[in-house]
């Protein structure tokens, strides 16, 4: 009897994992209807008769991004908002251009793992783990042309161009719409702003310091 109960429990547990996983696609593709007023987790499908090859196409990734900003970097995104055919496919990419000593600042992608390939220049890259008993661990690497580095889903990461010349990288991401949260912008540039008392307590600094930081112009390099 006990064996039967144990077997039933194991089967129930296995079934729950199966039902909790993402379902497989039920069609070849689902080109996003970006103009539809219907709100779903993703985008509704455009009727097949209205789908064209352009729904799977993007041009211009060979063009350098404008890095003339305070960060010295520019991210050119290619996700479902640029290629409607990416809808439901769980993949996207981006080109990142870096001026000499330019920075793609600490940020996270809440819905995607990222794999970065350095195409030109030297990049200092890294990510920080979530809270552990040993604190937040930092993993870094210097990348040269042809090197690849992975940033796990949801973890804070960055790239810094260590050289005096421009650098370029391409990132593949495991979501059609990975999202991005730039840490400094989110904490000090939210709308409405986070309370000075909350930030002063969190960062263990005086309120004068906190008042100074939100007053800065927080650059969005996306």
Residue 114 annotated in ligand binding: yes
> Would you list the DSSP string of 103-166?
EEEEEE-TT--EEEEEEES-EEEEEE---BTTB--EEEEEE-TT-EEEE-TT-EEEEEE-SSS-
* CB-CB contact of 42 with 92 (8 Å): no
Q: Is 166 annotated as a binding residue?
A: no
Q: Is 73 helix (H, G, I), strand (E, B) or coil?
A: strand
Q: Does 109 carry a binding-site annotation?
A: yes
Q: Give the C-alpha separation, 54 to 154, whole Å.
A: 31
CA distances to 66, 78, 122, 214 from 129, rounded to whole Å, are 31, 27, 23, 26
| 107 annotated binding-site participant | yes
Say how many C-beta atoms besides its own lie within 10 A of residue 198's C-beta.
12
Give the Cα-Cα-Cα angle 122, 124, 125 (nearest 5 degrees).
Answer: 125
Binding-site annotation: residue ranges for Mn(2+):
107, 109, 114, 157
Binding-site annotation: residue ranges:
104, 107, 109, 114, 157
Binding-site annotation: residue ranges for oxalate:
104, 109, 114
């Amino acid at each position: 009897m006990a064996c039967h109960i144990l077997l039933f429990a194991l089967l129930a547990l296995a079934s729950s994992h199966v039902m909790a996983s993402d379902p497989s696609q039920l069609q070849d593709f689902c080109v996003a209807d970006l103009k539809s007023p219907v709100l779903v987790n993703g985008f509704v499908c455009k009727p097949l008769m209205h789908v064209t090859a352009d729904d799977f196409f993007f041009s211009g990734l060979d063009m350098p991004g404008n890095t003339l900003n305070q960060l010295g970097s520019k991210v050119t995104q290619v996700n479902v908002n640029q290629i409607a055919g990416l809808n439901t496919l769980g993949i996207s990419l981006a080109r990142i251009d870096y001026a000499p000593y330019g920075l793609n600042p600490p940020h996270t992608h809440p819905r995607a793992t990222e794999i970065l390939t350095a195409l030109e220049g030297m990049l200092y890259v890294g990510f920080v783990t979530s809270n552990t008993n040993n604190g937040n661990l930092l993993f870094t690497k210097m990348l040269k042309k042809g090197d690849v580095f992975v940033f796990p889903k949801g973890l804070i990461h960055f790239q810094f161009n260590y050289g005096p010349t421009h650098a370029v990288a391409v990132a593949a991401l495991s979501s059609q719409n990975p999202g991005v949260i730039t840490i400094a912008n989110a904490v000090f540039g939210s709308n409405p702003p986070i309370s000075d008392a909350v930030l002063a307590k969190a960062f263990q600094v005086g309120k004068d310091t906190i008042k100074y930081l939100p007053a800065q112009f927080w650059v969005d390099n996306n």
